[in-house]
Structure formats: C-alpha cells, structure tokens
Structure 1
Amino acid sequence: MASSLPSLFLFLSLLCLAFFSPSLAEIRFAKIRNDNRPFIPLDLFGFTHSGGLQLNVSKISLSDTKLDLSQVGFFLCTLDSWLRVLQQLEDREVSCVLKSDLVESVYTFNSLNTDDSFNMEYVQKAADQYNLVFANCHYQQLKISMDVRSAMYNLDGKKGDRDYLSAGSSVLPRVYFLFSMVYFTLAGLWIYILYKKRSTAFRIHFFMLAVVILKALNLLCEAEDKSHIKRTGSAHGWDVLFYIFSFFKGISLFTLIVLIGTGWSFLKPYLQDKEKKVLIIVIPLQVVANFAQVVIDESGPYGQDWFTWKQIFLLVDVVCCCAVLFPIVWSIKNLREAARTDGKAAVNLMKLTLFRHYYIVVICYIYFTRVVVYALQTITSYKYSWASVVCAELATLSFYVFTGYKFKPEAHNPYFVIDDEEEEAAAEALKLEDEFEL
C-alpha cells in the first residue's frame, strides 16, 4: 500500500502534464525546498531521433546522507512505460522506480562527490514523448532541497540548431502568426462595416471590434513568445505581453457574451440588476483564472501548490462558462413572454430564434474548446499536438465570425422591420407552438 500512494501521485502528475502544459519545453528553473514528495514531475517533451537533455542542479542539501542515494535521482519515462511501472511497484517486482528497466535513469545521487552541484548532458535518440521526473524512494525519511535547471531540446536541420519546442509544437509560432493575421483582417473588415453603416452601429459593435483586436494581439504575442522559446528556450518578456493581452482578451470575450446575451444595445440600452450581478461575478473570476494560469505556467508541476492552482483554474473556468449562459436564457424567456403580450409576435419571434441559435452556438463553443480539444490532445500522437491548437483556434474563429455576422449593424434590420403578413404568420406559429406544448 505504501508503494501504491506515490505511484498514484506520479500517475496523476504525468496525466496533468499530458493534459495541461501550455508552455512546454522552455528552459525550466525549479527551486525545491525541504521537499519529501516521492516524485516531482519537472517537464514533458517530445523528442525526435536527435534530442538531448541538459541538467544543471545546484545547492543540493539532503536531510540524511547515510541512506542509499542510488534510490534518489532523475529519470525519463513515457506515460505508457509508467503504467507498466505502476504494475511492477504493485506486484513488488521493484522496490524503487529507479531500479525498473522501463525507465531511463538520467542521474542518481550516489554519483555525487563532495560538491553540492552537478552538470550533465544526456543524449536521447529514441523518438517519443518523455517526462522528466525526480524520484525520492526514501520519501518517508529524506527531505531534499536543490535548484534545478532543465533544458530539453531537439536538433533542428543540418545546422544542428537547438529547437526548445517539443516535436509536436515546433510549428506553433507559424500557426499563431497565421491566425493573428486572420483576426487583424477581420478587424479591418469590421472597421469598414462600422464606417459604412455608422448610422445603425451600436456601442456593442465597437466593443466587438475591441475584442477582435485584443484576440489578434494576443495571438501575435503568443507567436513571438513561442518563436523566441523555440530559438532560445526562454521568452524574455514576450510572455509578459502574452499574459497581459490574454488577460484582457479573456475578460472582454466573456463580457461580450454576457452583454449580447442580455440584449444590451439590441433589445434595451440598460442592464438589469441580475444581469449586472452576472458581470460582477464573471469579471473577478476571470481575473482569478488568469492569475492561476500565470502561476501554473511559470511554476510548473514541481511547485507544491501546482495541483491546487490547477483545480482553481478549472473550477473558475467552468463557473464562468456556466454563468454566461444565464443572461441568454433570461432573454429567451423574456422574448417568449413578449411575443404573446405586446402584439409584435413576428418581431419577437425572430429575436427569439436569433437568441436560441446564439445560445446553442455558445454551448457548442464552450463544449468544443473545453472538452473536445482536451480529448484530441489525449488521442493524438505527440507529433501532431499542434492539431488540437488548430482545432481550438478554428472553433474560436468560427464563433467570432458567427457572432459578428448575426449581430452586425443593419440599415434595415430584419429583426425590427416586419410586414403585416409576417406578423400574422408569426402569431399563428406561436399559437401552434402553444398547442404543441399543451
């Protein structure tokens, strides 16, 4: 039973790495202090046939140096290999993961001399996705402090330049740059539409323009961030710009969905108290979500509170996605009631249809980007991990285009200009709908 608990801990750690590692493969710096965890997952990387690991460890301090230090050290393993190692530990075929022939031992602390540091290069020629993990098989007796600098890379092309992005992420700089150009083009097109139809443009249309521009800037910074990491292993400030634009993009997008869902500018020029409360809830939660994302990306899974912040991020994201649906539901309910009472059945029926469609699209967008994309990450080979990013960005682009098309400014708005025949047809449709419900 004692061996099963650390095995479960590492399994969950590696699983989280496989699901949620947006900034993979940059040079990692970890400060570990008085840590007695049995396993500390440090990074995840997809190697080609010509890759390597540079490991620099300093300020090593052990609470007990009399133990067998061959059972303390770093190793590489694939997720598939670890599943079999779990079985070995359960069956007591091995007493320590470092003794298993299914993992690649990189360095064990019995090789330490009197120094409190070591530097080494490890060549990896087997193409696969590997996790770098620190193991402490004496976790019940031994506490460890150390500073760890790890850099995993592939050798790119004939020149042999180092590529610090994982094998499946190497094309991401170009992917993000291409999508940023698409959004800048959409922003230019939206500016042209607003200028041509400025007499019918509402305030929310200018807010939609701001959301598109923030998305474009966010993708441009992410492209440069990934490009710099690919060449040097470090973002050097571009990550700061990426987090800033990501912060404003996230808040503005959720706010836009809430405002459209309430019918602000389209149906009414004001927000009710319950709708204001949704914004008061969503915006601070987005602040927390963005802060959690920064902590997760920068600390990595070696941080003591990494799992806690990951759970906070997932919980907040789910709450925000659910909260933005309520205003749309309220608008649909109000339009159904108005269609029966104010004598404008056709107008309200068309508005109702529009908001029903938008409600369905928002649900599909949330489900696809939160569930389907992560499912794609698990079933897709690490060599094609870029495919899940492309799918997520295509879904987001489709959502932006749908929102802009359905809620664009119109000189003769079809949702308000209805003739008598359409009014009578809509009234008859509402009557049939009521009879069907009964």
Structure 2
Amino acid sequence: MSPPTLSLLFFLFLFLLLLPLSLAEIKTLKITSDSRPMILFEKFGFTHTGHVSVAVSSVSVTSTSNLSPPDPSRLGFFLLSEESLLQVLLEIQQNPSFCVLDSQYTTHLFTFRDLSPPPVSSFNQSYPITIPNEYSLFFANCNPQSSVSMTVTTLMYNLEFNGVKDYLPAGQTQLPTLYFFFSVLYCVFLAYWIAACVRNKKSVHRIHLLMVGLLVIKAVNLICAAEDKHYVKVTGSPHGWDVLFYLFQFLRVVLLFTVIVLVGTGWSFLKPFLQEKEKKVLMIVIPLQVLANIASIVIGETGPFIKDWVTWNQVFLLVDIICCCAIIFPIVWSIRSLRETSKTDGKAARNLAKLTLFRQFYIVVIGYLYFTRIVVFALKTISAYKYQWVSNAAEEIASLVFYAIMFYMFRPVERNEYFALDDDEEEAAEMALRDEEFEL
C-alpha cells in the first residue's frame, strides 16, 4: 500500500469512534472509478449467531499507469474490529507498503481472485461470525494507481433464539421498543398540556399553541422512528418509514429551535413582537437546520462508503454547533433587557421575577445542549457495543426532562407566580436589584 494509507487508516479510526452503529438494512451500493486504498462500508455489532453476506457484481479494475495490470489478490473485503485497527495502524507504520489484506488482525472474507471469470465478474458469499464483536466491513485496494468500479450488496444480521434474522446491530435491537415507549410518554404529555391550556383559556398565548405543535411533532417523530427500526429489524428494509422519520425529524428540530428562540425572547408571553435582531436569529437558524438535516440524511442513507462522507459529517457537526450557539443569544438579550428595565419602570419585583425566570431557562437550555451534544456522545464512545442503546435512552430522557421543565416554567396559569406579587415582595425585590447592581 502507498504511504497515505497510514493517515487514511488513522482518520478512519477516529471516525469509527464517531460513527454510530449502522442501521444494517440490506444495501446495494455502486462504486465508480474509485481509487481509494480503503473504503468503509458498514459497522455492525455481532453476537455469536451473527452473519455477514457480501455480493459484488459488474466489477472492473482499471490501471492508471502503464505498469503491470492490477493483481486481483490485492483487492478484497475484510472485517476489522476497533481493537484490531490499532494493530493494523502499527503494522503500516512499521512498513508503509504493507497491504492490510495480509494482516493477521483482519478477518479475511474474499479477494477479487475469487470472482467468477469475465464477463460476469461477480461473487456472492455469506460468512458466520465466530467471535462476537463490533466489526467494520472494509474494501482494500493494494494496487497503487488503479481504480475500481463495482456494485456491492451488503447484508448483516444476528439470529435470534428462534432462528429469526435480526437486521439491527446487537446494541440497537432494543430501539423499536424504546422509541415506542417514549412516544407513548409524549402522547400523555400532550394530553396533559392540552388539558392545562383548556383549563386556563384566558392565559393561553400563541406560544402555548406552538408548544402543542412541538409535542405533536415529537410524538409522531418517535412513532416513525420506532416503525423505521422495527421494519429494519425484521425485514432489513425500512419500507418508507425512514422518509417519514427524516421528515418529522426535520420539522421537530426546526420547531424546537424556533420555540426555544421565541420563548427566550419572551414572544407572545411578555411581548407580541420580535425585534429585528431576534428575527435574524430565526432567519439564520431555520436555513441552517435545513442544511443540517440534508447532511443527516446523506450520512444516514448512504453510509461511510461515499467519498464525501467525512465532509458531510463535518458539515452536520459545524451546523449543529452554530445553531446551538445562535439560540443562546435571544435568552441573553432578554436577561440584559430585563435587567435594564428593572432600573427604570418601578416594578422591581415583577422584573426580578422575570429576570429569575429567564436566568433559570438559560441554565436549563445550556444544560440540555451540553448533555445531548457532549455527554450523549461520550456514552456512545465508551459504551460496549451491546449497550449502544443506552446513549439513545439517555438522549430521549434528557429531551423529555428538558421539555417538561420548559413547559412547566412557561405554562399557562391565571395567577402566575411571577406576576402576582405583594408590596413586601416589591420592596425586597428593589433591595435585591440594588444589591445586584452594586455587585456588578
């Protein structure tokens, strides 16, 4: 292999840590004139009853130099665990021309020498997994200056105790039940929220109706996720549920960020309008969420075999970070505005209560973003492959807690605790504000 293979394997190792277990539906992928020395196809958690099947057809290998024709034994498929990848990195570091197909740490499947003779040039074989682990399926091209075109069909599954095929990785087979359970919780949440709005009709604002829509979209999104995973689990294909999942995921994320921005500005709850800078935040967040969801779909549907997969991952992470930062600004602006207003309008207690409310909301939003972006990622990284569902459960629990706190803080009530204040509280609030101003 050429020297760049070492750096390629290093980056593959990093992205294997970032890559969630693939939804191992039966996939047919087309490779066209690809000269990469390593191509990552799938990542799957196998039990002791696991199987992997690889079928290739329409194979052609083209040399880009006038040297000897490509050696078919130097092109092939293999499985590699994350632990073994480190050993392979060391082997290539010691010998940059080393071919990964010769490594003792790889699970060899087949090379192009095993293909049927032209003009068919195809191969189809299933392999049992003898050692349970999380493996990545790779294709290696150890012929420098050559490119490969082929159609590849991959199929990975574990057999259940009754012999039924489970096409979800060992760490994700619990996801259909998990998502359905949380969809039921959100339906109960929705019913409770609607009842609260009906009981307090006079205190319902437009933001509360938008929050109803958010709960509806979230519940439907989880139902679609449960159905998507269920059909992949039993048939290897989502049967169109992935389209609905991505659609409602897009609507849910856009609506969630919009609600956070609107609540953070006090729209409808404290004021009936948005300032220009607040409108600009929404105009930035919504298009970025469109781009982020496009990146998410590309990552989820194509898999890591495409040449631009790393780029789409970077786009998704960058856009997500920008959106998370953008929704913080309106809350900070509201806190600053309330602090300034409290010094001049003579309603110290009411403004202090509002200030306290938005500070609490700021802390809750920061905690939610930190947990779902950092803690959940850490769980995905450190959890054993059989317990990858734990990170999904943690993310859904954090989301449910965040929704519950946000909805409780800004619930419709006739006698809002933040505005029903007596004279003693007013005086105490004035003193508190003076103390705060002195400290600042």
Aligned with 1:355 (options 358, 370, 374)? 358
- Report the Cα offset of residue 9 of structure 1: 1.6
Secondary structure of 2:154's match? strand
Among candidates 194, 197, 204, match of residue 201 of structure 1 = 204
The two structures have a TM-score, normalised by structure 2, of 0.96
Q: What SS does structure 2 have at the residue aligned with 1:340?
A: coil
Question: Which ranges of 4 or more aligned residues in structure 1 deviate by more than 4 Å?
Answer: none
Cα distance per residue 1:121-173 (max 9 Å; x no partner): 111121100000001111x311000011101110011x211100000101010
Provide the residue aligned with 1:84 in structure 2.
87
1:141 — aligned with what?
A: 145
Which position in structure 2 is the counterpart of 1:152? 156
Cα drift, residue 418 of structure 1: 1.4
CA distance in 2, matches of 1:104, 1:366: 40
Q: SS of the counterpart of 1:265?
A: coil
Counterpart for residue 52 of structure 2? 53
Using the alignment, how far apart are the partners of 1:30 and 1:14 within structure 2? Answer: 22
> Within 5 A, what are the aligned runs for 1:354-373?
354-373=357-376
TM-score (norm 1): 0.97
Q: Does 1:435 align with 2:438?
A: yes
Deviations, residues 283-313 of structure 1 (Å, cap 9, x unaligned): 0111111111111111111111111111111
Matched with 1:324 is 327
Residue 425 (1) aligns with residue 421 (2): no
Report if the CA contact (8 A) 1:14-1:131 is conserved. Answer: no
The Cα of 1:239 is off from its aligned counterpart by 0.4
> Which deviates more from structure 2 when the two are superposed, residues 224-233 or residues 25-34?
25-34
CA distance in 2, matches of 1:320, 1:368: 16
Task: Say whether the 8 Å CA contact 1:14–1:41 is kept in structure 2.
Answer: no
Is the Cα contact below 8 Å between 1:164 and 1:229 reproduced in 2?
yes
More off after superposition, 166-175 vs 15-24: 15-24
- Quote the residue 2:187 is aligned against: 184
Tell me the alpha carbon deviations over residues 248-293 of structure 1, each in whole angstroms, 9 at most, x when there is no partner. Answer: 0011000000000110012100000100000000001111111111
Query: Percentage identity across aligned positions?
Result: 51
Q: Is the 2:22–2:169 contact (alpha carbons within 8 Å) kept by the matching residues of 1? A: no
Unaligned runs of 5+ in 1: none
Q: Aligned Cα RMSD in Å? A: 1.4
Residue 130 of structure 1 corresponds to 135
- Tell me if 1:236 matches 2:239: yes
Q: 2: distance between equivalents of 1:14 and 1:209?
A: 43
Which residue number in structure 1 is paired with residue 39 of structure 2? 40
Count residues in correspondence: 434
- Distance of 1:396 and 1:309 partners within structure 2: 25
After TM superposition, give the deviation of residue 416 of structure 1 in Å: 1.7
Q: Deviations over 1:198-245 (max 9, x none)?
A: 111101001001101101100000001000000011111000110111
Q: Residue 210 of structure 1 aligns to which amino acid in structure 2?
A: G
The residue aligned with 1:121 is 126
Q: Gapped runs of 5+ residues in structure 2?
A: none
Q: What is the match of residue 24 of structure 2? A: 25
- 1:376 equivalent to 2:393? Answer no
CA contact (8 A) 1:17 1:43 kept: no
Q: Is the 8 A contact 2:23 2:232 kept in 1?
A: no
> Secondary structure, in 3 states, of the residue corresponding to 1:298?
helix
